[in-house]
Amino acid sequence: MKQFASVSICNLTLHKSNSIILNNINLDIESGCLTSIIGPTGTGKTSLLRSIMKFEKISSENILIFGETIANLKLSEIARKIAFIHQDSVLPGGLLVKDYVLFGRYPYLGFFENTNVQDYTIVENALNQVNCYKFYNRELITLSGGEQQLVIIARAIAQQTPIIILDEPTANLDFGLSAKLMSILQHLAHDEQKTIIIATHDINNAIKFSDKLVLLKKGKIIAHGNTEHAINNSNIRDLYGSNVKLTTTLNGETVIDSNY
């Protein structure tokens, strides 16, 4: 395994209900990169993310975080290394935005510790990074779906972990907000040297903003590497079928289109 990898996965296999969900996954994910995992529905993307978080019943010696096997890490220790955003994050009612983002600070508090001025400064900075400071004293449930998703990202930023993992972060967002969110994640990877890992069906934004792509089909990696290397017509058709192809837009961007 390469020493520069922040997340290393070696020979990972996951079984559920007598089915193979992940099949001999080998993958190194670098710091300072936005890595997107793409593939059809039900191909194991979420299970792969959950395995990294130690949420699945696997041989956890197969996954290393900064060279240390997760078998040796408590969930509280993982929470100080990885911020994880679920596909369907539950947003509590009656909670102000500032207090929700403050949840990101709790992995650093002991049983009898309270948050302090520094924690609220971190919250303010996180909200500023996603351009949501204006919602600081708003009730979370009064925000639009897209605004709520940006606040969820702010909570992950406030957690101040070197790794952020997101499951379908752009689901149910319009095109503009999807691109904005991906741009924020790209900034976190490049400018703050964080490891950003997402599972997504938003293929064209994944191609545009990602440094690395992982193509997952039926629990197996069929391609992995720099976006330019991983994305070609052969791989895309293997992943999604013969009616899918790559095209180039007028401004030179590579996008995926279909003949359906």
Kindly list the domain boundaries of the chain, sorted by start residue: 85-160
Q: Could you give the 3-state DSSP secondary structure of residue 225?
A: strand
Amino acid present at 17: S
What average pLDDT does this structure show over 60-80?
A: 88
Residue 64 falls in which region: left (phi positive, over 0), alpha (psi -120 to 50) or beta: beta
DSSP codes joined into one string, 11-52: EEEEEETTEEEEEEEEEEEETT-EEEEE-STTSSHHHHHHHH
Q: Give me the chain's average pLDDT, please.
A: 91
Residue 2 has pLDDT above 80, yes or no: no
What average pLDDT does this structure show over 157-161?
A: 96
What average pLDDT does this structure show over 170-195?
A: 93
**How much of the chain exceeds pLDDT 70, in percent?**
96
**How much of the chain exceeds pLDDT 90, in percent?**
70
Reported as a single tens digit per residue, the pLDDT across 29-56 is 999 999 999 999 999 999 999 999 989 8
191 pLDDT tier (thresholds 50, 70, 90): very high
Q: Give the residues across from 257 on adjacent strands.
A: 245
Q: How far apart are the first and last CA of the chain?
A: 42
Residue 247 has pLDDT above 70, yes or no: yes
Residue 53 has which token pair? 């978080």
In terms of pLDDT, which residue wins out, 145 or 123? 123
